Amino acid sequence: MRLSWIFGSSMEAHHLLAAYVAVWLVQGGYAAWIAWQWVRVGKELHPELSLNSEEDVES
Amino acid sequence: MRRSRIYRSVGVVWLALTLAAIAYATRLALVVAPTEATMGNVQRIFYYHVPTSMLSLLFPYVNLVASLFYLYWRRRDPLRALAADAVAIAAAEVTVVYSSLCLLTGMLWGRAAWGIWWTWDARLTSMLLLWLLYVSYLMLRKLSSTGQTQTLAAVLSVFAAIDVPIVYMSIQWWRTQHPAPVFFGGPDSGIDPSMMPAFGWNVLGWAMWGVFLLMFRYALERRRQESEQEAALKAIEAPLEMAQ
């Protein structure tokens, strides 16, 4: 089965595409926000490692 | 090997498996699963809507259990209580993400299938209430400055979790526009066996993604707690050093 119908002009195609894209965007956006905070808090916690991507923080 | 590196490796492998499962599940949902006879292709929203809905009713219980542990440990073992609190906030955020998507995909499906974006029936209203409760939980944590924020949030979590069985049972307790649950919903529930692989893989993929988000957010909260403790220690030590 081809997927071209999903990009069609009918309401059902629009809504199906919107639902799938919304799920990917919200889930991906939330994961990206956690990753960004992870890096930001890591720099606050260990500023000496901010230039070092290896980040061996545990002793 | 250091423990943090082991955790990181497990996380990367878990993420790779999760993304592969979601990609496969999405292919099954969009390409392989048969077109539903009555609604046509828009019924394929089901493969994302139902797993996100199921998981939005599961993560509140993770939040509840962690909150109960927090309330139990907060005086007995403060370090364990902090860990439980980190799990609770992670589960609350994941609940908001999944319940937002449940409402959003449901509205997109409802407009195409019923001709309306929203109706104030028991299932939709109780789900909206669940979303509002966990948004309130997060706002309380963000905005409160009483010093008892974690305890207040843990108590709110106990009340919020009461809405979960109401959401699930709403279809059976009241007459609703929303269809019966896929499983354990009575004689009119269930799906065609040919749709099961797409449904099952989507449940698995999005559940694995939810666990990944939960663990990643938990790790972030633990890192924040460590950062706050370090800042508090520095604030105590600074005047002592100046005095010497």
**Residue ranges of domains in chain B:** 3-243
- pLDDT above 50 for A59: no
Say if A3 falls within a structural domain.
no
Residues of B with Cβ-Cβ distance to A26 under 8 angstroms: 97, 100-101, 104
- pLDDT above 90 for B145: no
The confidence score (pLDDT) of residue B175 equals 81
Say if A33 falls within a structural domain.
yes
Percent of chain B having pLDDT more than 90? 69
Which of B18, B30, B31, B35 should we substitute to test contact with A (largest number of A Cβ atoms within 10 Å)?
B30
For the residues A45-51, what does the mean pLDDT come to?
63
The confidence score (pLDDT) of residue B1 equals 56
Say if A20 falls within a structural domain.
yes
Q: Which CATH number is B3-243 given?
A: 1.20.120
- pLDDT above 90 for B133: yes
Identify which of B213, B197, B134, B167 has the alpha carbon closest to the alpha carbon of residue B54: B167
- Dist CA A38 CA A46 (whole Å): 12
Model pTM score: 0.89
- Dist CA B25 CA B101 (whole Å): 17
- pLDDT above 70 for B171: yes
DSSP secondary structure of chain B: --HHHHHHHHHHHHHHHHHHHHHHHHHIIIIISPPBTTTBGGGGGHHHHHHHHHHHHHHHHHHHHHHHHHHHHHHH-HHHHHHHHHHHHHHHHHHHHHHHHHHHHHHHHHHHHTS-S----HHHHHHHHHHHHHHHHHHHHHH--SS-HHHHHHHHHHHHHTHHHHHHHHHHHS--SSPPPSSSS-TT----GGGHHHHHHHHHHHHHHHHHHHHHHHHHHHHHHHHHHHHHHHHHHHHHHHH-
The confidence score (pLDDT) of residue A29 equals 97
- pLDDT above 70 for A46: yes
- Yes or no, beta carbons of B44 and A16 under 8 Å apart: yes
- Dist CA B104 CA B237 (whole Å): 50
The structure tokens listed for A19 are 């639902």
B5-36 in b/e form (b: 16+ CB < 10 A) is eeeeeeeeebeeebeebbebbbebbbeebeee
The confidence score (pLDDT) of residue B101 equals 97
Residues of B with Cβ-Cβ distance to A57 under 8 angstroms: 4
Give chain B's contact residues with A (Cβ, < 8 Å). Answer: 2-4, 26, 30-32, 39-42, 44-45, 48-49, 52, 93, 97, 100-101, 104-105, 108-109, 111-112, 209, 212-213, 216-217, 219-220, 223-224, 226-227, 230
Residues of A with Cβ-Cβ distance to B214 under 8 angstroms: none
Residue B182 contacts residue B191 (beta carbons within 8 Å): yes
Report how far apart, in Å, the C-alpha atoms of B88 and of each of A56, A58, B47, B119, B166 are: 27, 24, 28, 31, 21
**For chain B, what is the mean pLDDT?**
91
Closest CA in chain B for residue A12? B42
Which of A12, A39, A56 should we substitute to test contact with B (largest number of B Cβ atoms within 10 Å)?
A12
The confidence score (pLDDT) of residue B15 equals 96
How many C-alpha atoms does B1 have within 13 Å on its Cβ side? 8
The confidence score (pLDDT) of residue B186 equals 67
The confidence score (pLDDT) of residue A1 equals 53
- Yes or no, beta carbons of A6 and B41 under 8 Å apart: yes
Task: Provide the domain limits for residue A28.
Answer: 9-45
Residues of B with Cβ-Cβ distance to A15 under 8 angstroms: 42, 45, 108-109, 111-112
Residues of A with Cβ-Cβ distance to B8 under 8 angstroms: none
Say if A54 falls within a structural domain.
no
The confidence score (pLDDT) of residue A2 equals 63
pLDDT category of residue B185 using cuts at 50, 70 and 90: low
pLDDT category of residue A57 using cuts at 50, 70 and 90: very low
Using CB atoms, pick whichever of A5, A11, A38 lies closest to residue B220: A38
Using CB atoms, pick whichever of B52, B112, B213 lies closest to residue A30: B213
pLDDT category of residue B76 using cuts at 50, 70 and 90: very high
- pLDDT above 80 for B110: yes
Total domains in chain A come to 1
Say if A38 falls within a structural domain.
yes
The confidence score (pLDDT) of residue B188 equals 66
Instruction: Fill in the DSSP letter of residue A27.
Output: H
Q: pLDDT tens digit string along B30-43?
A: 999 998 888 888 89
Higher pLDDT, B165 or A49: B165
The confidence score (pLDDT) of residue B61 equals 97
Closest CA in chain A for residue B108? A15
Residue B91: partners with Cβ closer than 8 Å, 6 or more residues away: B59, B60, B62, B63, B66, B214
- pLDDT above 60 for B218: yes
